[in-house]
Amino acid sequence: MNSFTYHRATAVADAVREQSGRPDAAYIGGGTNLIDLMKENVARPTHLVSVGKLPLSDIENLPDGGLRLGATATNADTAWHEEVKSRYPLLNQAILAGASPQLRNMATNGGNLMQRTRCYYFYDLATPCNKREPGSGCSAIGGYNRVCGILGTSDSCIATHPSDMCVALAALAPTVRVSGPNGERSIAFDDFHRLPGNQPEKDNTLEPGELIVSLDLPAKGFEKNFSYLKLRDRSSYAFALVSVAAALELDGNTIRDARLALGGVAHKPWRDQEAENLLKGQPATVETFARAAAKVLENAQGHGSNDFKIELAKRAIVRALKQAVEGSQTASDVFLNSNP
Amino acid sequence: MTQQPTNSAARAGGVAAPPPTGPVRLTINGQQHTLQLAPWTTLLDALREYLHLTGTKKGCDHGQCGACTVLVDGKRINSCLTLAVMHEDEDITTIEGLGTPETLHPLQQAFVDHDAFQCGYCTPGQICSAQGLLNEGRAHTEAEIREHMSGNVCRCGAYVGILNAVKEVVDRKSSEHRS
């Protein structure tokens, strides 16, 4: 790990001031990803501004019926919060499908959005990686790319965003409130993460020095018909190969509203509103689901060792939507959500 | 090995500058300590290398194995992925704070009774993690315990014993609640 100086921020304005004009500085929340990247010399900040103890850990109801998730609330406290469990169970499931209890006790909500890809080459300093060293090339293209993306990739980068929580958020469409040198602003969740294009070093649309202060969920939580289906190489504590957040609003057997987002397939949590439109107004049948799945994967492109993800994703979408209709959960989800 | 800075003047061949250490107040197992630490000292290194509390183990040093699990204000975390300086004024419990050689903690006794280890390297982390699981109170069935202990890896594969040990203490705790 490189040497660095450390400052515990006393207020949001203090944190922003500490970062301002210092591209070599970084915010640290729970540190579960950043400290790992620093040990690997992938991240080399010379100044750390600790924001984990800022008074941004509340989870509170909003006047419009929504729910505000403080940026420094831990993933565990968020998942197990009564309002999240009852009104946004999709989010509860997605958070608990990720990492381990220890990591969820440390990781913050803001940090979950800011975590970086787990592409092998991003971590491997001996190989070129455009995300780590812009202009050096992409080793995953033509390399071992089992974990890499199949949608929205570019010639520069085929990395995926690793979060489970963010896949549920993509479906629930909160607003990301940020504070920076030029004051506060709100970013729609879908606009927060970006596709790699020719600038894969940029994961998101934050301006320099901006800090996430909260995630504001809209009132609609799809608490009756939802599913978070995560497919991975072992049954716990592994990143998704493909995951699906499916949320439906049903009127009898007719789909009134639908949300569909995928993880493990792209540089950002992949919400497909065209596919959602193919679901709305239609009968909730396997045929309808298969049409939506085909739409999502229409332009998918495999890169060799991840070709299997295209078919896997199609089937996962159909299965997740079936589970959402049944209002049932998979066996693994039942125990994740059990209560004392 | 403690984490050493890789860009120090010493490595570049110059005269090593004194590391920018500062006082860090830590409360470990009820005892207060003030250590002179560089900001990049992880909580794990502070425990092992500065306080010589070597019960907490360094396994992968990347948050993947759980051997470094300790409790902070009763919640289990990976001490390798956090800086000591981030934990001033918090209540940190390590394996040395759970039970004594004469009076074992119920989890320690259960691990002995159920043969829940071979080499023992993961055991302190397993036990601290299981104490975190008990504090959370959300895991009751075998399937739930397996899932809630998935952040702790055992290279010897003593999972059957670990599961039985944790289950016994969980069951005892819930029957005490009922009675």
Question: Which residues does chain A have within 8 Å of residue B86's beta carbon, measured at their own beta carbons?
Answer: 8, 28, 31, 50, 52
CB-neighbour burial class of residue A216 (10 A; exposed 0-12, middle 13-18, buried 19+): middle
- The torsion angle over the Cα atoms of residues B136, A67, A164 and A270, rounded to 10 degrees, is 170
Q: What does the pLDDT average to over A235-247?
A: 96
Distance from CA of A41 to the nearest CA of B (A): 9
Half-sphere exposure of A14 (CA within 13 A, CB side): 12
Nearest CB to B147 within list A5, A28, A236: A236
Provide the pLDDT confidence category of residue A332 given band limits of 50, 70 and 90.
very low
Give percent of chain A with pLDDT exceeding 70.
Answer: 96
CA A283, A285, A288, A292 torsion-angle sign: positive
Average pLDDT, chain A: 95
Nearest CB to B151 within list A44, A100, A332: A100
Q: Name the residue in chain B with its Cα closest to that of A104.
A: B77
Per-residue confidence (pLDDT) for residue B15, from 0 to 100 = 60
Is residue A279 a part of any domain in this protein? yes
The tens digit of pLDDT for each residue in B125-153 reads: 999 999 999 999 999 999 999 999 999 99
Distance (Å, rounded) from C-alpha A206 to C-alpha A213?
12
Per-residue confidence (pLDDT) for residue A212, from 0 to 100 = 98
For chain B, the domains span 22-97, 106-174
Q: What does the pLDDT average to over A1-25?
A: 95
Question: Which residues does chain B have within 8 Å of residue A41's beta carbon, measured at their own beta carbons?
Answer: 6
Distance from CA of A173 to the nearest CA of B (A): 29
Could you write out the DSSP letters of every residue in A153-208? --SS-------SHHHHHHHH--EEEEEETTEEEEEEHHHHB---TT-TT--B-PPT
CATH 1.10.150.120 fits B106-174, yes or no: yes
Cα A264-A266-A270 angle, rounded to 5 deg: 90
Least confident of A32-46, A73-87, A152-166, A325-339: A325-339
Answer yes or no: is pLDDT of A329 > 70.
Answer: no
Inter-chain residue contact B151 with A103, CB threshold 8 Å: yes
Q: What is the CATH number of the domain that holds A14?
A: 3.30.43.10
Provide the pLDDT confidence category of residue A29 given band limits of 50, 70 and 90.
very high
The tens digit of pLDDT for each residue in A219-237 reads: 999 999 999 999 999 999 9
Per-residue confidence (pLDDT) for residue A238, from 0 to 100 = 94
Please name the residues in contact with B93: beta carbons below 8 A apart, sequence gap of 6 or more: B28, B29, B70, B71, B72, B74, B128, B131
Question: Which residues does chain A have within 8 Å of residue B129's beta carbon, measured at their own beta carbons?
Answer: 101-102
Is residue A26 a part of any domain in this protein? yes
Distance from CA of A328 to the nearest CA of B (A): 18
Per-residue confidence (pLDDT) for residue A271, from 0 to 100 = 98
Least confident of A143-152, A254-263, A319-328, B22-31: A319-328
Residue closest to B76 by CA, chosen among B57, B99, B94: B94
Answer yes or no: is pLDDT of B113 > 70.
Answer: yes
Q: B22-97 architecture in CATH?
A: Roll (3.10)
Question: Which residues does chain B have within 8 Å of residue A99's beta carbon, measured at their own beta carbons?
Answer: 151
Per-residue confidence (pLDDT) for residue B177, from 0 to 100 = 78
Average pLDDT, chain B: 92
Nearest CB to B78 within list A2, A38, A103: A103
Q: Name the residue in chain B with its Cα closest to that of A34.
A: B81
Inter-chain residue contact A32 with B39, CB threshold 8 Å: no
Q: What is the CATH number of the domain that holds A234?
A: 3.30.390.50
Question: Which residues does chain A have within 8 Å of residue B140's beta carbon, measured at their own beta carbons?
Answer: 338, 340
Inter-chain residue contact A80 with B138, CB threshold 8 Å: yes
Least confident of A265-279, A309-323, B10-24: B10-24
Inter-chain residue contact B61 with A39, CB threshold 8 Å: yes
Is residue A249 a part of any domain in this protein? yes
Task: Provide the domain count of chain A.
Answer: 2
Q: What does the pLDDT average to over B49-57?
A: 98
Answer yes or no: is pLDDT of A305 > 70.
Answer: yes
Q: Name the residue in chain B with its Cα closest to that of A106.
A: B77
Q: Please give the residue range of the domain that contains residue A279.
A: 225-326
Provide the pLDDT confidence category of residue A213 given band limits of 50, 70 and 90.
very high
Is residue A153 a part of any domain in this protein? no
Per-residue confidence (pLDDT) for residue A328, from 0 to 100 = 57
Per-residue confidence (pLDDT) for residue B178, from 0 to 100 = 76
Secondary structure of A209-271 as H, E, C letters: CCEEEEEEECCCCCCCEEEEEEECCCCCCCCCCEEEEEEEEEECCEEEEEEEEEECCCCCCEE
Per-residue confidence (pLDDT) for residue A327, from 0 to 100 = 85
Tokens 């993509």 belong to A170
